[in-house]
Amino acid sequence: MENAWTHTTVLLNEAVDALLGAPDTTTDGTSNPVFVDATFGRGGHSRLILSRMALSARLVAFDKDPDALIEAARITDPRFSIRHQGFSHLGELPEASVAGVLLDLGISSPQIDNPARGFSFRFEGPLDMRMDTTRGQSVAQWLAHAEVDQMTEVIREYGEERFAGPIAKAIAARRQARGPITTTTELAQLVADTVKTREPGQNPATRTFQAFRIFINAELEELQQALAAALKVLRPGGRLVVISFHSLEDRIVKQFIAKHAKEVYDRRAPFAVPQAMQLTALGRIKPSAAEVAGNPRARSAVMRVAERTHAKVAS
């Protein structure tokens, strides 16, 4: 069904303003910048970038989701191309070749709202949660054999859920008594039956679903790889723009920018020349009250912006 689920891009203008805000001139005086939309999604950011970037510029997009590739095929602008890869593959681009990298983390509304993807506890659907449905194991497949200790760690670390242990034990007990959990509603009900106290306005399964999604897609590990790759491919003056939707992501981004926005001294060699700072932090932006009112899913978004300095990345 065409356009069955719509997506409202969060911090659309703010992100594109930040991405395109750096000078377009490279060190050799030419002006043919390459920008990267590392999380194409449904193309909201990409389309605005294309409408505003120079005619000599190019836009390279990345996305693991096959549905995103279908949407990207609608774009006929010759300056645009997309790769069926996660954003950790950023490092395959030439070093110091990119004028700006945009990472819009998390999941899109069509992914959440499509029951077949299994991301939401609000709809009956297969317990999948894979960003790339062409490879890897689903959450249901993993839960069919995962040990209690492993499930506990995943729920605690990635969901910040204080009832991680009881939830993991309940999943294992259910598996032994009636077979593995295979649907979203089965998992949501099991968590609701296990978690007796809940935060106001939040479904008790929220944290568990977040944890399993992050784990099955290796989201935090891929984010760390992508940030390191972005630092290598950004040219001097290039912009790094990252939109996060929960504290685990934002903490990684914040710490990465802070780490590379200062000189690093080697305590073992106190008289050695320090490693120069490689990023300049340009700020943190939250959605406006008007945006949140129009799109409640924007309420947790945090955008951080940094600019690549002229320091060379240490190999």
161, 207 contact by CB (below 8 A): yes
pLDDT given for residue 31 in this prediction? 66
Helix, strand, coil share (%) of the chain residues, nearest 5: 40, 15, 45
- Please name which of 156, 196, 189, 155 lies closest in space to residue 174, comparing C-alpha atoms: 189
d(CA 57, CA 238) in angstroms, rounded, equals 14
Domain extent listing, the chain: 12-109+219-308, 132-216
Measured at the alpha carbon of residue 243, what is the angle toward residues 241 and 245, in degrees to the nearest 5? 165
pLDDT given for residue 82 in this prediction? 97
39, 90 contact by CB (below 8 A): no
Note the helical H segments in 80-163: 109-113, 139-143, 148-159
Rg (CA), the chain: 21
The CATH classification number of 132-216 equals 1.10.150.170
**Per-10-residue mean pLDDT for the chain, 315 residues long?**
61 95 51 92 94 96 92 96 93 96 85 83 91 92 97 97 96 96 96 85 90 95 96 96 95 96 67 72 95 90 94 53
d(CA 182, CA 91) in angstroms, rounded, equals 36
pLDDT given for residue 26 in this prediction? 39
β-strands 58-62, 80-83: how paired? parallel
User: And the tokens for 159?
Assistant: 């969901």
pLDDT given for residue 278 in this prediction? 92
- Please name which of 139, 142, 161 lies closest in space to residue 152, comparing C-alpha atoms: 161
User: And the tokens for 204?
Assistant: 């008790």
pLDDT given for residue 147 in this prediction? 97
The CATH classification number of 12-109+219-308 equals 3.40.50.150
Listing from the earlier edge strand, what are the strands of the sheet with 58-62? 80-83, 58-62, 34-37, 98-104, 234-244, 302-308, 279-285
pLDDT given for residue 25 in this prediction? 40
β-strands 302-308, 98-104: how paired? unpaired
Q: Provide CB contacts within 8 A for 265, sequence distance 6+.
A: 272, 274, 275
